[in-house]
């Protein structure tokens, strides 16, 4: 295709589909418009590459999406709740996915890696980005688990259920919204984290 002048350079074939290449090789298509097609697909790829991926990818079918704006603890997390009213979640209530039943109250302990586990005291709420087997020993000291990323079948959810700990996962930006020592109530039935007003 490069020799025939259809593409500017051989690596441009990356932007053509198998159907495009097959049609050209069989003589069904002379390559007219290939450069424009390549240019358009490259522009789309560049646009996609410039985007920042979301912290959490969730299926919002049947649920109401959370919108997060700003960059400080005063950020407003707006969510429509049953009954139709709008509630500011940054001040009092954060919502995630309920992954392990029960309710517990205690000071939040934000840990970004299990190596920081020495900072978690008995009865504190473990707040983590997500968990894997390296976090498991910390569950024995925690009163509850909160994870920024995860779902019902994630490691943290499964282990929390095994240990009988309330847990909420998939709480966008919880690591930056909460502070160490914030007294919070984790409701693993409702999927909420409540801070006293």
The CATH number of the domain holding residue 116 is: 3.50.30.10
Asked about 153 being catalytic, the answer comes back as no
Residue 140 in domain: yes
Residue bearing tokens 């978690």: 120
Tell me: do 28 and 102 sit in the same domain. no
∠ CA 191-140-176, rounded to 5°: 45
| pLDDT, position 197 | 67
∠ CA 121-125-130, rounded to 5°: 110
Tell me: do 46 and 102 sit in the same domain. no
Tell me: do 44 and 126 sit in the same domain. no
Residue 42 in domain: yes
Which of 113, 118, 153, 155 does the annotation list as catalytic?
155
Q: How many domains does the chain have?
A: 2
Q: Residue 172 half-sphere exposure, CB side, CA atoms within 13 Å?
A: 20
b/e 95-110 (16+ beta carbons within 10 angstroms → b):
bbbbbbebebbbebbb
| pLDDT, position 51 | 86
Residue 68 in domain: no
| pLDDT, position 66 | 46
Burial class (CB in 10 A: 0-12, 13-18, 19+), 71: exposed
| pLDDT, position 56 | 56
Tell me: do 105 and 156 sit in the same domain. yes
| CB distance 155 to 87 below 8 Å | no
Tell me: do 36 and 113 sit in the same domain. no
| pLDDT, position 196 | 73
Contacts of 122 by beta carbon, 8 Å cutoff, 6+ apart: 141
Residue 168 in domain: yes
What's the CA dihedral at 173, 174, 179, 181 to 10 degrees? -170
Residue 85 in domain: no
Tell me: do 24 and 117 sit in the same domain. no
Tell me: do 35 and 101 sit in the same domain. no
Residue 79 in domain: no
Tell me: do 45 and 130 sit in the same domain. no
Residue 185 in domain: yes
Residue bearing tokens 């473990």: 126
Looking at the chain, how many residues does it have?
197
Residue 151 in domain: yes
Tell me: do 100 and 189 sit in the same domain. yes
Residues 113, 116, 120, 124, CA torsion sign: negative
| pLDDT, position 60 | 55
Tell me: do 125 and 32 sit in the same domain. no
Domain span at residue 44? Answer: 10-50
pLDDT in tens, the chain (197 residues): 999 999 999 999 999 999 999 999 999 999 999 999 999 999 999 998 998 776 555 555 554 444 444 433 333 334 433 333 333 445 589 999 999 999 999 999 999 999 999 999 999 999 999 999 999 999 999 999 999 999 999 999 999 999 999 999 999 889 989 999 999 999 999 999 998 76
């Amino acid at each position: 295709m490069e020799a025939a002048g259809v593409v500017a350079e051989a690596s441009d074939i990356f932007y053509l589909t198998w159907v495009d290449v097959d049609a050209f090789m069989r003589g069904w298509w002379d390559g007219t418009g290939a450069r424009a097609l390549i240019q358009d697909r490259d522009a789309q790829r560049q646009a996609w590459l410039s985007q920042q991926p979301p912290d959490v990818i969730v299926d919002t079918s049947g649920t109401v999406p959370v919108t997060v704006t700003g960059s400080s603890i005063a950020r407003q997390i707006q969510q429509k709740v049953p009954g139709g009213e709008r509630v500011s979640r940054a001040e009092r209530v954060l919502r995630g996915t309920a992954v392990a039943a029960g309710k517990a109250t205690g000071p939040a302990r934000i840990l970004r890696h299990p190596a920081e586990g020495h900072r978690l005291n008995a009865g504190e709420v473990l707040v983590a980005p997500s968990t894997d087997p390296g976090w498991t020993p910390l569950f024995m000291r925690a009163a509850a688990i909160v994870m920024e990323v995860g779902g019902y079948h994630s490691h943290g959810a499964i282990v929390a259920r095994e240990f009988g700990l309330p847990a909420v996962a998939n709480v966008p930006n919880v690591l930056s919204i909460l502070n160490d020592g914030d007294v919070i109530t984790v409701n693993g039935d409702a999927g909420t984290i409540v801070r006293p007003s």
